[in-house]
Amino acid sequence: MKPRFFIVDVFAERPYAGNPLAVVLGGDRLTDETMQQIAAETNYSETTFVRSAPEPDGGYRVRIFTPAREIAFAGHPILGTAWVIRHHLAPEPAGDIQLKLAVGPVPVTFESTAADGEVAWFLAPPVTAGPTCARERIAAALGLAPDDIETRAPVQQFAAGTSAMIVPLRSLDALRRSRLDLATYADLAGEGFPPLTYLFCTETREPGNHLSARFFFEAHGVREDPATGNGAAFLGAYLLQHKFFAAAELSLRIEQGHEVRRPSVVRLRARMAGSSREIHVGGKVIATVSGELL
């Protein structure tokens, strides 16, 4: 049988919004080189490859490729892949799906309500805090003034398999003006700071949302993500660590993707569970294309 594939929009409230993802079933029949070539062909930020049969414990082995390389963890591929497995591979629609990623097992659950429809949620793996960065230096790399950077919490690196810089901004205007300049960022990259930047502010376009965000990353040049699940997980850890909001338990809607004409809504739940952080990231998944590899 030829491997089947699906294109789904993740964190989308309607078709052709959110973050597109290609999911290939039967990835165990493909070589590493072929998987990388397919990921470059789709040219999405990520393409996933799923083994045909579940593991003995019922989990599904999944690999994630960008157009340039394989990565250990990314948010929208988790939700989109679990949705495809639930609807097109699992013997019956399960209430939860466990993905076996390079970063470790990641459970995905599904909730359905009359008001919101079906929403997929993943429990983020442990997120660790890294070094901070002077706001003047990150502002220069983003084409901003230092005063555009919010000062009640630092610019800081967070990681879980991959890593990104969390950058708090003062306004939606600053968010709109942001542009990542890799040449200016080169000195920071040389010091170990990743050229992946997650920017957010508390000003929103829609009154039902709580935060606005953008995410820039390097993949054969600078690209912008329409919706970023791992960035939201990093953000949840960041907000808890710095007590950015007064509430001890957060339930937030994050709008993203407007600048690239793919409006998205990322849902975030974050709380302290004893001495550790418990972070869930959720969103809707809408299928747009299905087919098979030739």
CA distance 257 to 278: 26
Domain holding 167: CATH number? 3.10.310.10
Query: Domain for residue 148, yes or no?
Result: yes
Q: Catalytic site residues?
A: 46
Q: Between 86 and 218, name the one with better pLDDT.
A: 86
132 and 266 part of one domain? yes
Q: How confident is the model at residue 115 (pLDDT cuts 50, 70, 90)?
A: confident
Is the pLDDT at 158 greater than 70? The verdict is yes
44 and 139 part of one domain? no
Count of structural domains within the chain: 2
Spacing of C-alpha 82 from chain mean position: 14
pLDDT tens-place string over residues 163-206: 999 999 999 999 999 999 999 999 999 999 999 999 999 999 99
Query: Domain for residue 123, yes or no?
Result: no
Helix count and strand count (H, E) for the chain: 6, 18
179 and 208 part of one domain? yes
17 and 147 part of one domain? no
80 and 190 part of one domain? no
Query: Domain for residue 103, yes or no?
Result: yes
Query: Domain for residue 219, yes or no?
Result: yes
CA distance 1 to 63: 20
Is the pLDDT at 103 greater than 90? The verdict is no
Closest Cα to residue 155, out of 171, 137, 172? 137
Which DSSP string do the residues of 133-151 spell out, in sequence order?
Answer: E-HHHHHHHTT--GGGB-S
194 and 259 part of one domain? yes
- For the record, the structure tokens of 38 come out as 């397919």
Q: Which pLDDT belongs to residue 91?
A: 79
Query: Domain for residue 122, yes or no?
Result: no
174 and 228 part of one domain? yes
CA distance 83 to 89: 10
Closest Cα to residue 199, out of 182, 179, 218, 221? 179
Q: Which pLDDT belongs to residue 220?
A: 73
Q: In 3-state terms, what secondary structure has residue 71?
A: strand
268 and 288 part of one domain? no
Is the pLDDT at 95 greater than 80? The verdict is no
Is the pLDDT at 93 greater than 70? The verdict is no
Question: Contact 74/162 with Cβ under 8 angstroms?
Answer: yes
269 and 255 part of one domain? yes
Q: Which pLDDT belongs to residue 1?
A: 74
Is the pLDDT at 99 greater than 80? The verdict is yes
Q: Which pLDDT belongs to residue 221?
A: 79
Average pLDDT score over residue span 74-86:
94
Query: Domain for residue 189, yes or no?
Result: yes
Q: Which domain holds residue 42?
A: 4-110+284-292
- For the record, the structure tokens of 184 come out as 């200016």
For 74, phi then psi, to 5°, come to: -160, 145
pLDDT tens-place string over residues 259-290: 999 999 999 999 998 889 999 999 999 999 99
138 and 268 part of one domain? yes
Pick the range with the lowest mean pLDDT from 79-88, 104-113, 248-257.
104-113
pLDDT tens-place string over residues 217-254: 887 778 899 999 999 999 999 999 999 999 989 999 99
Q: Name, in order, each residue with C-beta under 8 angstroms of 193's C-beta and a sequence gap of 6 or more.
A: 131, 133, 157, 165, 185
Q: What integer best gives the mean pLDDT of the chain?
A: 94
183 and 157 part of one domain? yes
186 and 279 part of one domain? yes
Query: Domain for residue 95, yes or no?
Result: yes
